Amino acid sequence: MQRLSNKQKLWLTIIIAGIALILQYGFHYPLLAQIIVTIAGAIVALTMLVGMVKTLRSGKYGVDLLAILAVVATLAVGEYWAAMVILVMLTGGDALEDYAAKKANTELKALLDNSPRFAHVVTPDGSKDVPVNDVPVSAKIIVKPGELVPIDGLIIKGTGEFDESSLTGEARPVAKTVGDTVMSGSINGDEAITLTVTKLAKDSQYQQLVKLVQEAEQTPAHFVRLADRYAVPFTVVAILISLLAWWLSKDPRRFAEVLVVASPCPLILAAPVAMVSGMSRASRNGIVVKTGSVLEKLAGARTGAFDKTGTITNGHLTVAQILPAGTITKERLLHLAASAEQDSSHILARSLLAYASQHNISLAAVSGLTEETGKGITAMIEGHQVKVGKRQFVAPQNQQAALDTTAIYVSVDGNYYGAIAFTDHVRPEAAQTMAKLKAAGVTNLIMLTGDQRAIAQQVAKAVGISTVKADLLPQDKIAALQSIPQSEHPVFMVGDGVNDAPSLATADVGIAMGAHGSTAASETADVVILKDDLAKVAKAVTISQDTLRIAKQAVLIGIAICTVLMLIASTGVIPAFVGAMLQEVIDTVSILWALKARQLHN
């Protein structure tokens, strides 16, 4: 039976029960019915025993021992119908857990069914439908009214409103015009538009969400069983009550009758159902949680670490000043810097290119491009070596060039050419988000940024973060996370860029601002925020805490009812078969309570 799915095990158990019923009550062969049930029970108990041994070897304790003892005890005393009920509940519980896992992120799974397969590619003769995976970057595509945008792109013709609710959770349509980016998965409004493709289909926003949902389908089946932390004391209490009832009554049936009502089905089911419900609630709020165990970690988070640019600030930097050195013109400085940065996905690069486009600055061809993460870019432009990036990388000897603001510096063939300063703005929701996190128990808030300390401290003070670590390279961020004392764990890290991906993987929980963030960050993260809204981080923590609270309540309610029934059963007033049926009542109560995690108000 190990090779069968849990659903198949359930149907097989029901079929065996049906055959046994027919043999006993249809053909009056009770002995044959008992033999069939006993064999089936022995097989299930054996497979559970193997699973329990594996669990013990991993250093964990489960609640399967009680189920095994209940099956064996009822079979040993001839209560084979009670054993059959327990078997149906056990296999049914596993099948229900699988079903519940597949329902995780229900609101996002519609993406899988609606995934676009073709794009209307512009040709000299009009347009041609091409499979989305075959559409190259820079191709021009047409999106007709009411259609799903198949690939990320930049509008070059037309204006309209786009429904991004399946991506961000925001119901209000977003107005877009020439020069704006459009995410795949958005639904076009009433006007046809023409896009220039900016990403391959596999890297586009829509396909990334589809991939996240597929990952959630593949890996959620074995949630951390919250009941396991109560397994040892509950098992000990159940066995002691059973043995005491047997010793006082001198009747081995009493041992079986107590263990039947101690069967841990509701405990096994309650936590997974609550976790799936919490994941579904998160999905409704535009938050993708990849596994159920992430909710448990996030619920207990003590430390929150944040990148600055694009995370605490809105990332929509604008060019504030162009500061050429010597006789260099502003246009020349901007031309070289924008040319070097034209293939970069960094926030500063996006802002610089937008500014250059607005001022009709042409871009030169680039060759020999190399990038040193966290430092800058070196490229050959028009026969000259151009460096763009931090001052220490571009002009380490030029102390006078240092600016007390976010800036990039430019040198040509080793000669300092000037700097371009940017202005960024703190997200309006940032301060309130930090306050909510502190109220939720995340008392240790840290900013980890590659920006200058003076700028970082100014931003941190504005939003309520007391600890600032600035001028960090990606490896420095990892070291900073690893240095956090164990007493301040679990730790979550929030970021949105390529250089944040290692930090997100290092933290106990990585949270990616996925609306405009990099693919690498979203793939590395445990949680992806689909809407460009920092407040969703606090929402994710709140949902996690609500989910864990309800899961605990459901488990403890199951334990309490089981304990009361065990005490009653120890007196002999509950036959084994009736006790097995009462388990269905406990199952129902625990599951209904666990489902509250999904029904809470957003």
Q: What is the DSSP letter of 148?
A: B
- Cβ–Cβ under 8 Å, residues 181 and 152: yes
| The two three-digit tokens of residue 89, written as one number | 């509940």
Strand partners, 597: none
- Cβ–Cβ under 8 Å, residues 310 and 347: yes
How far apart, in whole angstroms, are the C-alpha atoms of residue 494 and residue 303? Answer: 11
Cβ partners under 8 Å of residue 117, min gap 6: 131, 132
Measured in degrees and rounded to the nearest 5, phi and psi for residue 506 equal -75, -40
What's the burial of 419, exposed, middle or buried (CB within 10 Å: 0-12/13-18/19+)? buried
Strand partners, 174: 162
Q: 64, 163, 307, 587: which is the annotated catalytic residue?
A: 307
With residue 245 as reference, give the H or E element that holds it: helix 231-249
Residues of 338-364 as b/e, b for ≥16 C-beta within 10 angstroms? bbbbbebebbbbbbbbbbbeeeebebb
- Cβ–Cβ under 8 Å, residues 193 and 159: yes
Hey, is 59 helix, strand or coil?
A: coil
Rg (the chain; Cα; Å): 31
Q: What is the DSSP letter of 42?
A: H
How many CB atoms neighbour CB 272 within 10 A? Answer: 28
Helix and strand counts by DSSP (H, E) for the chain: 22, 22
| The two three-digit tokens of residue 434, written as one number | 């930090």
Q: What is the DSSP letter of 251?
A: -
Q: Report the candidate in 265, 291, 266 with the shortest Cα–Cα distance to residue 278.
A: 291
128, 131, 134, 136 alpha-carbon torsion, rounded to 10°:
50
Q: Is residue 307 annotated as part of the catalytic site, yes or no? A: yes
Hey, is 413 helix, strand or coil?
A: coil
Q: Report the candidate in 558, 560, 578, 556 with the shortest Cα–Cα distance to residue 569.
A: 578
Strand partners, 345: none
Hey, is 302 helix, strand or coil?
A: coil
Provide the pairing of β-strand 318-324 with 384-389: unpaired
- Cβ–Cβ under 8 Å, residues 477 and 448: yes
Q: Report the candidate in 509, 510, 95, 548 with the shortest Cα–Cα distance to residue 278.
A: 548
How far apart, in whole angstroms, are the C-alpha atoms of residue 372 and residue 393? Answer: 9
Catalytic (active-site) positions: 307
